[in-house]
Structure 1
Amino acid sequence: MLPQADITTVDFMSRQTSWLHWLMKKIYLIMLDFVPNLYDVFYKVSGGASGGSLVQSAFAVVMQPVMQRIIRRAEPDVVICTHPFPEGAASLWKKRHNPHLPLVVVMTDYSLHQIWLYPRVEAYFMATEAMRQEMTEKAFSQARLHAAGIPVDVSLQALPGKAELREVYGIPQNNPVILLMGGGLGLGGIKETLLELEKIPQSLTLLVIAGRNERLLEEVRKCAAQYHHLVKAWGFTDKAHELMRAADLLITKPGALTISEAFVLGLPMLLHDPIPGPETENAVYATRHGAAVWLHPGEKLAPAVQELLTGDCLESMSARAKECAKPAAAAEIAQCIVTMLTGKK
């Protein structure tokens, strides 16, 4: 690799990067509460060739000045984008200022969508071979397409065993252990999920990561004193991977990174409440490959969990999850980028 490389990570939608970008994200999240299918509408409108190009061009034009400021400050040898918004801004910047600056895109979805497809991209890295084939059919150069998988932390492969971690966290060895996660904001109906799980007579250990949602964390801890299950709760924590390793089942929204990490850990999933669009496609992918069960609206959670806890269901799902895993994705992507850069010198 390049041990001397200077890597600058930028959150393109943060307030520190751009007040306008942050405001756009804030307004979108607020609107999502009132119009749950808003993302679905955007996803479908931007999915077609004409509608997609229009949406892509609009976002690229709005965000290109911020990308120009970032590039001038960092003077990078390569720009790597993991989201289509900065990708579009970088592509437009290349067109206007420097067509020779390498632009690399790491797709973080389990389905291909028009909004990821921009000109002037030297290398695309995607989750699956099916996505690579679909891009080939759209006349993208095969030499630029790599089905490396979605990159995850390499430390996942070096975690201690399940029994050891349960001892560390005071988790009983014999009870089924279920982890509830809702991302950094603690979304995904965690409190309602806990109420449903309380209906299960079998003794369970429930691990809850509330993220930065302090109100949820307080509510979970209050509920814990009343439940017959053992409930352990954390706020925002860097121990999420260890808790995933200690669990038998993960109940979560189907974010692509979370799913990818669960694949590597062989952790079966019960997925619910996907944001219409890419999260729905993520749920479809994990379910079709036997690594997850997708709980659709109207289906009861408690019976679904009870069914998963019977027989060798979880063991079978764990094996299927590992078959989907791409633990070396990050290393493969890094090596390809290094080869691309050194080959240009």
Structure 2
Amino acid sequence: MTQIGGVTVTGPSQDGDLTARTPARRGSALLLSGSLGMGHDVMAEACGASLTRRGWTARTGDSLRMLGGRNGARGEKVFRGMLAVPGLYDAVHFSQMRTGGKLAGLIERTSSRYVVPALREELSTTPTDLVVSIFATGAAATSRVKAEFPGLVTAVFSTDCCVHRLWVHDNTDLYLVTSQTAARYVRRFAPNALVSVVPTPVRTPFYDPPSQEEARAELGIPGDAPCVLLMSGSWGLGPLVESAAALSGAGIYVLAVAGRNERLAAKLTALAERQHKVIPFGFTDRIPALMAASDLVVTSSGDTCSEARVIGRDLLLLDVVPGHGRDNLQKELERGHAEVTNTDPVSLTRSALACLDRVKPPSHRVAIGPQAWEQAFDAALAQIGFGAHW
């Protein structure tokens, strides 16, 4: 294990030591995301922007769409269906995906049957030097086609705390993860993998939010009133309407974000007509300002947590995302300035009121600057022969 430019790098690559592959160079990159929520797309955007700053050309592909037509929609429908049945996704994740059970192997083989031809065509059409898989389906397919494209370098980037079996494949040159726990889960399946632990990248607007006073003035929220931001990913998972009603009933202003969930957005709008301390939003790019206006961010585990920490807001976490979401919730609690609550309105409101009593924003204790990610990403690229000067 070595420290290079702030990056923890562990183990040699399975394909040998890539540090001597070539001199520093730039090229063309393909980022393989997946359209389940927004987290994968946000990470793909961050990697693409960083590569572009280094003189690369970067494009993004959707691994689910590579399944083809109805198969991609069916994949999302199956995932949503598992989330809707209490305990089902937990069972699949903890007994199969985290351990590499037979069902995990079946999922991998079935998805690759469709994604591999599409990926092969993409790589044949557009010469590519680097593929970064930010979705497990893309990682599996890339491993299968790598040998057909001499010189192709492959990487995987996962922000999950416990990287499950579908992320880890023989032909991956580099794994980017955001915790030492994740690095060890990679090595559970690939003991000799090259792993770099990097900060979670955060989008630029979060580093330059308005002041709390400015944000509240724009929203019409009194400066001395308690205020929380309530959101749960782009799907709006969990009882957000009931939670918003209970919080506002306790005298708290609630900035309630539905994400891309149009049905939830309509319900929040209707609630706001009755309870005027609820301020509803659908899908919005104003999250930095909403965080700035709030005293506390109530959300599910995910990359939103890193954004809140950059702005300087403590977290109250909803335990609503099963499987990998429960793993990631524990990671966020360990990182600090976060509490967890049950999702029934009474428990959530009690927890929120207690947090508001203890926490007075902003907190500068956990915020990091954008250079931390850039330096770590640069050092990681150097490990696979793509050192850059930017």
Residue-pair matches, total: 333
Greater relative contact order, per chain length (Cα 8 Å cut-off, separation 6+): 2
Query: Where does the alignment leave 5 or more consecutive residues of structure 1 unmatched?
Result: none
- Mapped to 1, the partners of 2:225 and 2:311 lie a distance apart of 19
Instruction: Say whether 1:204 aligns with 2:255.
Output: no
CA RMSD of aligned residues (A): 2.9
Q: Does 1:146 align with 2:191?
A: no
Distance across 2 between alignment mates of 1:245 and 1:100: 46
TM-score w.r.t. the length of structure 1 is 0.84
Match of 2:74 in 1: 23
1:293 matched residue in structure 2: 339
Superposition TM-score, scaled by structure 2 size: 0.75
Shift in Å at residue 174 of structure 1?
Answer: 1.0
Paired residue type of 1:167? A
Say if 1:79 and 1:103, in contact at 8 Å, map to a contact too: yes
| Structure 1 position 47, deviation (Å) | 1.8
Partner of 1:166: 216
Q: Give the whole-Å Cα distance in 2 for the aligned partners of 1:50 and 1:137.
A: 14
Cα deviation 1:208-232 (Å, max 9, x = unaligned): 11223333223222222322x5221
Q: 1:119 to 1:245 in 2, by over 3 A?
A: farther
> Which of 359, 367, 378 does residue 314 from structure 1 map onto?
359
CA-CA distance at 1:168 after TM superposition: 2.9
Q: Counterpart of 2:137 in structure 1: which amino acid?
A: F
Check conservation: 2:207, 2:369, Cα contact below 8 A: no
CA contact (8 A) 1:83 1:107 kept: yes
**Runs of 4+ deviating beyond 6 Å:** none
Per the alignment, residue 236 of structure 2 pairs with 186
CA–CA distance in 2 between the matches of 1:134 and 1:92? Answer: 22
Matched residues, percent identical?
Answer: 26
Q: 1:133 to 1:42 in 2, by over 3 A?
A: closer
In 2, distance between residues paired with 1:38 and 1:236?
28
> Does 1:258 pair with 2:310?
no
Contact 2:237 2:321 in 1 (8 A): no
- Structure-2 change in CA distance of 1:94 and 1:109 (3 Å): same
CA distances 1:22-76 after superposition (whole Å, capped 9, x unpaired) = 222123313432x232221221212224545554344334422222233233322
Q: Counterpart of 2:322 in 1: which secondary structure?
A: coil
Residue matched to 2:32: none
| Selected match of 2:374 from 326, 331, 335 | 331
Q: Take 1:333 and 1:16, find their aligned partners in 2: how far apart are those partners?
A: 33
2:9 counterpart residue number: none
Determine the C-alpha separation between the residues in 2 that align with 1:333 and 1:22: 35
* Aligned with 1:270 (options 306, 316, 338): 316
Moved more, 166-175 or 13-22: 13-22
Between the aligned partners of 2:315 and 2:217, the Cα distance in structure 1 is 23
Structure holding more strand per residue: 2
Give the Cα separation in 2 of the matches to 1:85 and 1:179. 33
After superposition, the C-alpha distances for 1:188-247 in whole angstroms (9 at most, x for unaligned) are 2210111221441xx3221111223333223222222322x5221111111112212221
